[in-house]
Amino acid sequence: MNVERSPHDVPSAAQLVESVREWLQNDVLTSTTGRVQFHSRVAINVLAMVERELAMGSRQSIEHASRLARLGVASDVELASAIRAGSLDDRIDEVVAAVRASVVDKLSVANPTYMRRDDQSS
Amino acid sequence: MSSSPDPRGELADAISRALDGRAIGALTRLSGGASRETWRFEADGEPLILQRQRAGDTRDMEVEASVLRAAAAAGVPVPHLLASGRFENGARYMIQSWVDGETIARKILRDDDFASARDSLVGQFATALAAVHSIPVDDVPGLPTTDQVAQYRQSLDDLNAQLQQSHPAFELAFRWLEANRPASARRTVVHGDFRLGNVMVGPEGLRAVLDWELAHIGDPMEDLGWLCVRAWRFGSDLPVAGVGNYDALLAAYESATGSPADPEALLWWEVLGTVKWGIMCMLQASAHLLGFSRSHELAAIGRRVCENEYDILLALEGRWSSLGVS
């Protein structure tokens, strides 16, 4: 996030989310069982995902836009339509590489350890 | 004392009538999905399972009952079907024997009790599937024959429109699937959801194949491909249901059927299965986003869609030339 331009005081959005995640981890998880504990664990994972998106999202948006621009499309919707129509078939390797880079970005936020080691923290 | 009717007592009476007056006890509800309820009970002390279809389910449970009978006759390990039909209120039901064991995938994959089962399961799954695929198609009228690609293409279009998004990776996958359909001539009964979670396992291995409600007519390799989708490995590194390798599955299936099994067809169905699971993740997230069932758990599943996109791109690495001239 672009902290310099933000009017907000500390804690930052990321630090606020982190504080709630730590409370869930340290207090809620240990004092619950069964279904509520399971849903607490899900909540912790969700907040950790939000923290990663706050940290990486801006850079990912810029890179995603430039990947799309290189393929001559303005959005994932346009890229999806072009793939479906076959209009980018003569650049299929470029298309696959761009889609793969976007998917790696998505997983870097959603679930980084799901990926092969060489795709993690790229 | 209240004189209002006891719904559980009414259900017990209905079950008793279905079982020629046997004494029904210990009636306990195990699960209640959108389309059916599952109850455990005892009839003269014998543990049994009741599945009751809810109003609004478009499938016909009697078709599933006929598949179960045919599967048993073909040698598939399945619970014994004691009775099926309609209760007086019109609800379809099936009553099956209770099979003891474990269905929870993570226990089967990790607990010491199942170490020996894990060594046997790939072979047993292949044998069971070969038996499923040997069921004479004419013995089970009423099974759907929907084209899976067309069905999930439509689901993706509907979800993309509802959720205002799109998935270039799935578009690539559909292009590849259309361009590389396996040249399978076989059309058989397909279980449709064969994986850990839908099989009863004991320490010695497979005891019963459960959950036949998605059975249909199609390419038998669909069942093998679905069994290898990464979601059904539950975190294990082994591709076949988290317990074995492709070669072992194909070899065991070939030996059980006596005919060759095409690894390319297996891959095709695994890719389609991965697309399907990705779309099912979107569907679960949409239940939250569209307000049918508000839940952070369902919301989070929306961010698991990209796991399937990643798996598709890995599976199809170096295989895109069928789409373009690069």
Chain B: nearest CA to A5, how far in angstroms?
29
Return the residue of A nearest to B299 by Cα.
Answer: A46
Q: Which domains does chain B have, with CATH numbers?
A: 7-97 (3.30.200.20), 105-322 (3.90.1200.10)
- Judged by a CB distance cut-off of 8 A, whether residue A68 touches chain B is no
Tell me the chain B residues in contact with residue A77 when contact means C-beta distances shorter than 8 Å: 165-166
CB B298 within 8 A of CB B286: no
Instruction: Flag if A49 and B314 touch (Cβ within 8 Å).
Output: no
Say if residue B143's pLDDT is above 90.
Answer: yes
Q: For chain A, which residues score pLDDT lower than 50? A: none
Predicted local confidence at residue B4, as pLDDT: 52
Q: Which residues pair with A82 in a beta bridge?
A: none
Q: What is the pLDDT of residues B222-256, one digit of tens each?
A: 999 999 999 999 999 999 999 999 999 999 999 99
Helix%, strand%, coil% for chain A, nearest 5: 80, 0, 20
Identify which of B321, B267, B275 has the alpha carbon closest to the alpha carbon of residue B174.
B275
The shortest C-alpha distance from B231 to chain A (Å) reads 11
Taking CB atoms and an 8 Å limit, are B165 and A91 in contact across chains? no
Euclidean distance between CA atoms A26 and A33, whole angstroms = 14
How does DSSP classify residue B143? -
Its ipTM equals 0.95
Per the CB < 8 Å rule, is B304 touching A110?
A: yes
- In this prediction, residue B1 has a pLDDT band, given cuts at 50, 70 and 90, of very low
Look at residue A53 in the predicted model and tell me its pLDDT: 98
B324 and A CB contact within 8 Å:
yes
pLDDT category at B324 given cuts 50, 70, 90 is low
User: CA nearest A114 in B: which residue?
Assistant: B307
B58 has pLDDT over 90: no
Q: Which of residues 144-183 of B touch A (CB under 8 A)?
A: 160, 165-169, 171-172, 174-175
pLDDT digit string, tens, across residues B259-312: 999 999 999 999 999 999 999 999 999 999 999 999 999 999 999 999 999 999
Report the residue of chain B nearest A48, measured CA to CA.
Answer: B300
Q: Enumerate residues 8 to 37 of chain A having a beta carbon within 8 A of any beta carbon in chain B.
A: none
Confidence of residue B7 (pLDDT cuts 50, 70, 90): confident
pLDDT in tens, B97-138: 999 999 999 999 999 999 999 999 999 999 999 999 999 999
- CB contact under 8 Å between A110 and B306, yes or no, is yes
pLDDT of residue B326: 45
pLDDT top residue among A74 and B325 = A74
Q: Given this model, what pLDDT does residue B31 score?
A: 81
CB contact under 8 A, A46 and B167: no
Predicted local confidence at residue B2, as pLDDT:
46
Query: B16-56: per-residue pLDDT in tens?
Result: 999 999 999 999 999 867 788 999 999 999 999 999 998 77
User: CA angle B159-A63-A56, nearest 5°?
Assistant: 80
Residue boundaries of the structural domains of chain A: 10-119
Does the pLDDT value for residue B148 go beyond 70? yes
| CA B8 – CA B267 distance, rounded (Å) | 47
A70, with CB counted inside 10 A (0-12, 13-18, 19+), is exposed
